[in-house]
Chain A
Amino acid sequence: MDTMISPDAPVADPIAGLPEPEGSETEERIAVATQWQLMSMRFRKHRLAMASLIIVILFYLIAIFANFLAYADPFKTEAYRSLMPPQKVILWDDDGFNPHVLAVEGARDPVSFKRIYKTDPDHKIPLRLFAHGYEYKFLGLFRTDRHLIGVADDAGVTAEESIFLMGTDLLGRDLFSRLMRATRISLSVGLVGVALSMFLGVLLGGISGLYGGVIDITIQRLIEITRSIPTIPLWMGLAAAMPRDWSVVKIYFAITLIISLIGWTDLARVVRGRFLSLRNEDFVLAAELAGAGQLRIIFRHMVPSFLSHIIAAMTLALPAMIISETALSFLGLGLRPPAISWGVLLQDAQNIQTMANTPWLLLVAVPVIIVILAFNFLGDGLRDAADPYG
């Protein structure tokens, strides 16, 4: 794409009647590097994709350590803390470095009946690292109540009562802590969904590309049909048909299944295309002539040569999955409370009145946008690295 070599640029190409001379030194040097080394070399040149990779890793770290990063119980409701605006963290005061927040007093406005909050400049609540908070199981291994940040124990207040980095929702739950948990759910829905659609895509695409004929035509038509249907109304219908009394876990898997039904067609097309083009490659023919079995040809020779493409296609499919889950949950048809996902959180910001009064509820949109951007850049970089000429 970036290097335009003239049709006449010198390449080892013999003129008519001249047999091929032996390869030049440069060619030999390149031939020594493996495909993965070449890919990572090309990928590292792509700075935006590298930055995106770091962002994606950070987000998955958040998902893994959600409970550690949260400081308040994401399910604990508190009527007196309803719809509090975000608090400012003050890092320095007269005594030097002393990170703290100011205590907040709530009262009901006698005229508008809204709760209004006032900060008390004299009442400082100092912040501490690794403070005590609610109890949880760290990585599912052991119980602890330590969190990355929290208030000092000696201040006489509990964390969930005193810091609200991103404000609270209508029921007085801490938005920051909820966001941490939502990240875990939303990102894992994407992963599970991609894994499922990957399974479908590789299976159907592989069968289609490998066997050809009637099977290929049938699967091709299936893909075309799936792609020409407006998906959201259909999945909305299926999602709405889920029984109301299902458990959160059941709904979670049903939703990921529905979402993965959206994503498999692209992967299937990629896989099929690869199979078709590889089937005619010389090295596959060579393996066949050498007497290798079909399974061996597929897994030893063909799959390694398009694995990189599949990884890139998966990375590009992930954001679509995340958006789908967020959209369905946002409409109230996906995950439902008490489950927490980005879509569930955004549901609170659905109506313009609440948005106008409590704009911080819209902050949830920020991680959604960042993650999706990062996945797109990362996928693009991977695709370029996997296939610099495609």
Chain B
Amino acid sequence: MQNNGLNQTILSVRNLKTYFFQDEGTVKAVDGATFDVYAGKTLGIVGESGCGKSVTARSILRIEEKPARIVEGEITFHRANGSVLDVTQLEPGSREMRAIRGGEISLVFQEPMTSFSAHYTIGNQIIEIIRLHQSVSKRAARAQTIELLRKVGIPKPERRIDEYPFQLSGGLRQRVMIAMALANNPRILIADEPTTALDVTTQAQILELLQELQEQTRMAVILITHNMGVIAETADDVVVMYLGRVVETGPVDDIFHAPQHPYTRALLRSIPSIMSESRTRLPTISGSIPHPYNRPTGCPFHPRCPDFMPGTCNRLEPQLLPVNEHQQVNCFLYHEPQPHQSNDEAVSHE
């Protein structure tokens, strides 16, 4: 975690809480997320649908939408010019925030199909982002765009640049999306389920491409996915989220070989494997994700947890604390309830 060049922190998220305020009630989409992003490294954020992964990504870019609001926490970002600032303190529409968005932190989306506007050529949409963040002529931006397209492996980029997104295949479109995200040499690339909508071969190509590009540019990648396999292949560090909380963090090897949190273990058990015996049922996590409006008290995982300790897990809120020198876990199996963590506090969160 020291700034020894290799593990240089560019982004640290501390206790981030982003809630959706709706007529029916408040949804705590992100409820205390904490993690660090290092230069040149890939951080994998994993969890089931609805665990707050995407909302976390959007909160970092400050494009969380209307009913959503960041209510607490810090997102410290180290800018390219050396300054350090807390993104949560910026106005979403401010000049500074807009300079970061798309310039220093960029986003690659889940749906390559619908993430582009069908009304403009891909060239138009990439040139736009270049000219927004760099003062270059149209001609220069166009040359840059062709170069970018070539870099992400688009054949005949001089011709493809004038095509519309719907003329490209899904895989090509995702490559274009990545080209667009790389346009301004960002320090962080957030890839939100970048391969979910693609077929398996294309998935592998895209992930490979991301890794290659990362090696060339030393940018940090935040890879958001629900797919443990993708995490195993690409991530350096892993953040496991459940119902808006980080339940476990650590290097990818430790997470896979020595998972600590009951939820992480359950997740790993439910991955089908070539090695597993045929005709056996895959283990599942018992129960289902609670309804967003009535979260369980205490540890949100307790109703589904095999190691549930009545009286503790359902009344007190655990904290994310180290269990060894690499891993941090959010579970009472590993640390005693802290004295100041009273029941009242737990209830007051509801």
User: Using a CB–CB distance below 8 Å, which chain A residues touch chain B?
Assistant: 2-19, 21-26
Contact = CB atoms under 8 A, between A and B. Distances in A.
A47 to B, nearest CB: 15
Given A4-B66, A18-B270, A18-B285, 20 more contacts: A4-B20, A4-B65, A4-B67, A5-B27, A6-B65, A7-B54, A8-B50, A8-B51, A9-B20, A9-B292, A10-B29, A10-B291, A10-B292, A15-B267, A16-B228, A17-B270, A17-B271, A21-B284, A24-B290, A24-B291
Contacts of B49: 8, 10-11, 13, 15
Contacts of B289: 10-13, 24
Contacts of B292: 9-11
B29 to A, nearest CB: 6
Given A6-B54, A9-B27, A9-B50, A22 B291 contact: no
A26 B49 CA distance: 18
B214 interface: no
A2 B23 contact: yes
Nearest to B55: A8
Interface string B17-61: 000101110010100000000000000000111111111000000
A23 B287 CA distance: 9
13 contacts: A3-B23, A4-B20, A4-B65, A4-B67, A8-B29, A9-B27, A9-B292, A11-B49, A13-B50, A15-B49, A15-B227, A17-B228, A18-B48
A16 B53 contact: no
A4 B21 CA distance: 10
Shortest Cβ-Cβ A-B pairs, 6 listed: A10-B50, A21-B288, A13-B49, A15-B48, A15-B226, A8-B54
Contacts, number: 88
Nearest to B66: A4
Contact of A10 (B51, B68, B270, B287): B51
Nearest to B24: A3
A31 to B, nearest CB: 14
A6 B58 CA distance: 11
A16 B227 contact: yes
B243 interface: yes
Contacts of B65: 4, 6
B243 A10 contact: yes
Interface string B282-298: 10111111111000000
Contacts of B155: none
Contacts of A2: 23
Given A3-B22, A17-B270, A11 B285 contact: no
Contacts of A18: 48, 270, 284-285
Contacts of A8: 29, 49-55
B306 interface: no
Interface string B260-290: 0000000100111000000000101111111
Contacts of A22: 288
A6 B69 CA distance: 12
Contacts of B227: 15-16
A25 B55 CA distance: 26
B27 A10 contact: yes
Contacts of B29: 6, 8-10
Given A13-B50, A18-B48, A18-B270, A6 B288 contact: no
A361 to B, nearest CB: 48
Nearest to A4: B67
A21 B285 contact: yes
A5 B191 CA distance: 21
Contacts of A23: 288
Contacts of B53: 8
Contacts of A9: 20, 27, 29, 50, 292
Interface in B97-152: none
Contact of A11 (B20, B50, B284): B50
A15 B51 CA distance: 11
A64 B24 CA distance: 43
A16 B285 CA distance: 12
A17 B276 CA distance: 13
Nearest to B243: A10
A17 B67 CA distance: 32
Contacts of A10: 27, 29, 49-51, 243, 289-292
B173 to A, nearest CB: 19
A6 B192 CA distance: 14
Residue with the greatest number of chain B CB neighbours at <10 A, chosen from A2, A13, A15: A15
Interface string B239-267: 00001000000000000000000000001
A26 B291 contact: yes
A304 B68 CA distance: 38
Nearest to B226: A15
Contacts of B47: 15
Nearest to B294: A26
A13 to B, nearest CB: 4
Nearest to B46: A15
Contacts of B51: 8, 10
Contacts of A6: 20, 27, 29, 54-55, 65, 68
A13 B49 CA distance: 6
A18 B47 CA distance: 12
A9 B19 CA distance: 10
Nearest to B292: A10
Contacts of A11: 49-50, 289, 292
A139 B239 CA distance: 76
A59 B24 CA distance: 36
A246 B132 CA distance: 74
B55 to A, nearest CB: 5
Contacts of B66: 4
Contact of A17 (B23, B24, B282): B282
A6 to B, nearest CB: 6
B291 A19 contact: no
Nearest to B56: A8
Contacts of B285: 18, 21
B22 A19 contact: no
Nearest to B48: A15
A5 B49 CA distance: 13
Residue with the greatest number of chain B CB neighbours at <10 A, chosen from A3, A8, A17, A23: A8
A2 B227 CA distance: 32
